[in-house]
Amino acid sequence: MNATGLSLAELARGLRSRKFSAVEIVDCCRAAHERSEPLLNAWKSWNGDAARLLAQSVDGLFDSGMDFGPLMGLPVSVKDLYGVPGMPVFAGTDQALPAAWEAAGPVAGAVLRQFGIVMGKTHTVEFAFGGLGVNAHWGTPFNPWSTDGQRTPGGSSSGAGVSLAQGSALVALGTDTAGSVRVPASMTGQVGLKTTHGRWPLAGIVPLSPSLDTAGLLTRSVEDMAFAFAAIDTPCGESRPVCAMPSLAGLRLGVADNFFWESLDPGIGESVSAAIDQLARAGAHVVRLRVPHCDEVYDIFRQGGLAASELAAFMNMEFPERIERLDPVVRARVAAAEQVSSVEYLRRKQVLRDCASRATAVFADVDALLAPTVAVTPPLLDDIADGAAYARANMMALRNTVIGNLFGWCALTLPVGFDARRMPVGLQLMGAPMAEARLIGIGLAVEALIGRGPDILGRAPALA
């Protein structure tokens, strides 16, 4: 069977009708891993043998008429910040964290309780502090769309998008503090969801910035995202959220004339604009507007925002002996945060709260905001070897995504085409706080019009 050619819903139905088995699905993912993992380096720890044993047990449960939830028997990759019992947590560092971090929190627990099959842990930037996906300790995953050298896969959930492109997993758990789900999803041609801060509990996830951290998902299509979000969002036994697809006719879609369209690399704006034009021709009401305070909050982010100070505090309390061993691109920002006073930190929090309150008012007039997800082409690793070059590229990679974090919004990215370098381009949909189901529904309408990622992009060159 070809598991990667079927949606999650189709796979779930096939498992329950016994058209095919969980072992067959897992074997497809194992074969994909075997074909390309030495090149792609998506995985920090691969759990393929144990996953197959679990799949055998899952098939036995299905044969006995037992059903533990929508994700039962479906292969999942887990970012190496999440606790999963029996699997070490490295959080991108050079040494495993204490075993207490292996305890599953509510998000990973939702997968495990449903007998979703964890295929392993995917690479992350150290302590998730970076948007390009590099890691000096374990190597940077290879973006499978690269044809002219190794380009970044996006971060910090760097292995997550690569695992989906590879076909070694069909759903990926990630986290997003400034864009760490959406950037790798956009750069590898996947769909990514940043949930509203506070919607999903952060227990069982190594923190970067508790003020901004969110758990999120990457999938191969918006259709799959609707399935996975509903499976994880609501405890078993309660009614699950419905991501209903609205008619495009009458949808109010805002396009910001400021900030998001500045300094785009060639081909990015053109691909996103073409998708928006399609939506307008299909009946969507496209509204041009200005989103207030973007420059103001981005300036705070460029100064270190809240994350640098909060990670520095966490490191000093939990792992002071590791600070000198941090990846240089992370260590530099942790060191800089030591110079931020408590007064300045609290000032930043208040400014962000005030700006968010005023900016969120735009959703009184539109159902969603549309923008390019990432402003730049994934850079070549050779071009960001210098620290200053890395810092510039990292800021630009996160530029368009971090606004949603700083304003407390939810956001979704889906692929819409290629840039001038033939690298995937994402369209970002941003929604009001706690409007995930509505936002995914709009994403479904967009996907129904322009096509699923694989239909638009085809197969990544490194996997052809």
Q: Could you tell me which of 357, 404, 386 has the C-alpha nearest to residue 193?
A: 404
Q: Torsions phi, psi of 445, nearest 5?
A: -65, -40
Contact 8, 225 (CB under 8 A): no
Query: Which pLDDT tens digit goes with each residue over 306-341?
Result: 999 999 999 999 999 999 999 999 999 999 998 999
Structure tokens at 234: 């609501």
Query: How many angstroms separate the CA atoms of 85 and 163, rounded?
Result: 21
pLDDT at 432 over 80: yes
User: Could you say which of 36, 156, 209, 309 is catalytic?
Assistant: 156
Residue 33: helix, strand or coil by DSSP?
helix
Mean pLDDT over the full length of the chain:
97
* Helices and strands in the chain: count of H runs, count of E runs: 15, 11
DSSP per-residue codes, 65-97: T----TTTT-EEEEETTB-BTTB---TTSSSPP
User: Could you say which of 180, 186, 209, 271 is catalytic?
Assistant: 180
pLDDT at 23 over 60: yes
| Other CB atoms within 10 Å distance of the CB of residue 34 | 12
pLDDT at 238 over 70: no
Query: Which pLDDT tens digit goes with each residue over 252-293?
Result: 999 999 999 999 999 999 999 999 999 999 999 999 999 999
Query: How many angstroms separate the CA atoms of 191 and 184, rounded?
Result: 9
Residues 6+ apart with CB under 8 A from 426: 182, 185, 186, 187, 192, 372, 373, 374, 413, 414, 415, 416
| pLDDT score recorded for residue 132 | 98
Contact 425, 433 (CB under 8 A): no
Query: Which pLDDT tens digit goes with each residue over 30-75?
Result: 999 999 999 999 999 999 999 999 999 999 999 999 999 999 999 9
- Provide the β-strand partners of residue 431: 410
Q: Residue 337: what residue type?
A: A
User: Could you say which of 21, 44, 79, 186 is catalytic?
Assistant: 79
Query: How many angstroms separate the CA atoms of 119 and 431, rounded?
Result: 31
Mean pLDDT on 388-411: 98
Its pTM stands at 0.97
**156: annotated active-site residue:** yes
User: What is the helix (H) or strand (E) element at residue 101, kind and residue range?
Assistant: none
Q: At 234, is the pLDDT very low, low, confident or very high (cuts 50, 70, 90)?
A: confident
| pLDDT score recorded for residue 339 | 92
User: What is the helix (H) or strand (E) element at residue 230, kind and residue range?
Assistant: helix 222-233
pLDDT at 1 over 90: no
Query: How many angstroms separate the CA atoms of 153 and 266, rounded?
Result: 19
**180: annotated active-site residue:** yes
**79: annotated active-site residue:** yes
